[in-house]
Amino acid sequence: MDIAILIYDRFTALDAVGPYEVLSRLPDSTTTFVGETVGPKRTDTGVLALTADASIADVPTPDIVLVPGGPGQSALMGDGPVHEWLRKAHESTTWTTSVCTGSLILAAAGLLQGKRATSHWTALEELGGLGAEATAERVVFDGKIVTAAGVSAGIDMALTLVARIAGDELAQAIQLGIEYDPQPPFQAGSPQKAPTEIVDAVLAYSRFEAASR
């Protein structure tokens, strides 16, 4: 099973690395970080680079595609090699997946028309505007399309996906291997749970970020 994780400049590292840590443990699988070009891709903070070991052209028919999000997503909304690769790969994937605003890229490539899908909570409206049925759930399956909510939701998605692919026992073993027994110090991880003033502050910051792209 070939797993291709797309990375690009200004993606959010955890969007890709969370699911990678889970999916790469699938037996008989090969995970490849791919980019439009080979080489280091710098994340949204500017202080970290992950290497794309192959180009998208090198991995034309992956079984699983994963598209992370992050501010750099906005540069991948127009037609071009990434959309062409996604559309072509999607014809033969078993699973086409995204984390966070990676779903906006899938939608812009035309893969989410009428599909139930999710994204970072600040991007659900934009996702709906691109033709998807935007859904505020953490992990959304619609046929072979699987989308996760913001950033850390990719871990939950990947564990769910491993269970579908290889059974609950392997998913549980991987969960135990990465000691994923989350104990967040606050209940502030969703706009429903966080205090209103925190939600407003994050929304204001995300609009500022979007405007400054």
Our CB check for its own copies shows the closer of 31 and 93 to be 31
CA Rg, the chain, in Å? 16
Task: Please tell me the distance from the alpha carbon of residue 139 to that of residue 161, in angstroms, as a whole number.
Answer: 10
CB of 64 to its own copies, least distance (A): 13
If the CB atoms of residues 106 and 151 are measured against its own copies, the closer one turns out to be 151
What does the DSSP assignment read for 112-142?
A: -TT-EE---GGGHHHHHHTTSEE---SEEEE
| Contact set with its own copies (CB under 8 A) | 12-14, 17-18, 20-21, 24-25, 30-33, 40, 45, 47-51, 53, 100, 120-121, 138-139, 149-153, 155-156, 159-160, 163, 168-169, 171-173, 175-186, 188-191, 193-195, 197-199, 201-202, 205-206
Which pair of tokens denotes residue 5?
Answer: 């994780």
List the catalytic residues: 100
Q: How far is the CB of 200 from its own copies (least distance, A)?
A: 10
Nearer to its own copies by Cβ, of 18 and 83: the residue is: 18
Q: Where are the beta strands (DSSP E) in the chain?
A: 2-6, 30-35, 39-42, 49-52, 54-55, 64-67, 95-99, 116-117, 133-134, 139-142, 145-148
For the bound state, the minimum distance from the C-beta of residue 7 to its own copies, rounded and expressed in Å, comes to 10
Least Å distance, CB 213 to its own copies, is: 16
